[in-house]
Copies of this chain bind each other. A is one copy, B any other.
Amino acid sequence: MKIGELARKTGLTPSTIRFYEEQGLLSPVSRTAAGYREYSNYAMERLHVIQVSKRLGFSLDVIRGMFGANGQCLKTEILERTETRLREVEEQQETLASQQRELLALRAILLDESISRPFCAEPAVN
């Protein structure tokens, strides 16, 4: 199949697929006589793996590191990256929880009519 069909099947755009190839996420693919890219179903599966990985929060750099030169997944690499990503997720969860706490406090202050200017000290005339 050509790039347009692959794009439709994966929900990506042709330019994204070319971009992934350029970034080394897709192994260079065979071409027709006219120079058109010709994809197998394996390419489609590879793109699905990439899409799932992105949903898990892996960067393209990290995803690239999960594949060997031959195109195989590297199990121990993936395990490592997964552990790393899990720690990142926990960090971000803590950040969000803290932001949420402070935002709720801020909202409470703003809703308290008796306080006029909560944290804004600059006078009208500077």
Contacts and interface: CB of A to CB of B under 8 A. Distances in A.
User: How many chain copies does the complex carry?
Assistant: 2
Interface stretch (A5-13, A15-23, A102-110): A102-110
Interface in A97-126: 97, 99-100, 102-104, 106-107, 110-111, 116-124, 126
A79 B107 contact: yes
A30 to B, nearest CB: 9
A56 B124 contact: no
A40 to B, nearest CB: 7
B104 A86 contact: yes
A51 B27 CA distance: 45
Interface of A: 27, 40, 42, 45-46, 49, 52, 55-57, 70-73, 75, 78-79, 82-83, 85-86, 89-90, 92-93, 96-97, 99-100, 102-104, 106-107, 110-111, 116-124, 126
Pairs A-B, 6 closest by C-beta atoms: A73-B120, A42-B122, A45-B121, A79-B110, A71-B122, A89-B100
